[in-house]
Amino acid sequence: MRRVLYPGTFDPITYGHIDILKHASSLFDEVIVGVFHNPGKVPWFPTETRVALIQEAVRDLNNVRVDSFEGLLVDYYQRESCDAVIRGIRNSQDLLGEMAMAHMNASLLPTIRTIFVPTSAANAFVSSTLVKDVAAHGGDVSHFVPPCVLRALAAKLNG
């Protein structure tokens, strides 16, 4: 069985993330979405909420499991017996950052494999940061996030 890890903060999950997940789920037996707690970021949504939103957003992808982790990606990768890490690429800046992370992970765990998956052109500009910024300023983000995320963003901004 081929198991891959798709790590990220997913604050919140977007259609760009889901695009990558659909590609990965068609290629591998199991995809673990690893919601990472990054102490360097202040997320809008707690980890548990992000996990729940992802679970709802990908409920039709039967081979996708959502989990959360803290600490080093390589440790979680080994604990879950993964065969590769999936990373989404929107543009050249993403590629540069992801290459640096892939090389760092490989220096910590030489057997780790990283697979870069480009997002579709329609999602090439979509990021969680931009979605939050547009939503915070009253813009319509319904084309960028699933309905469950749209509701969570509205609740966050209204409450």
For the annotated catalytic residues, the residue numbers are 17, 41, 90, 128
Paired tokens of 30: 């199991």
At residue 65, the 3 state secondary structure works out as strand
**Cα separation of 59 and 56, whole Å?**
5
**Cα separation of 87 and 94, whole Å?**
9
Give, in order, the Cα–Cα distances in Å from 39 to each of 6, 35, 110, 155. 19, 13, 25, 24
At residue 91, the 3 state secondary structure works out as coil
Q: Of 18, 111, 97, 126, nearest to 6 (Cα)?
A: 18
Say if residues 101 and 5 touch (Cβ distance below 8 Å). no
The residues, ordered by sequence, that sit 6+ positions from 70 with a Cβ below 8 Å of its Cβ are 36, 37
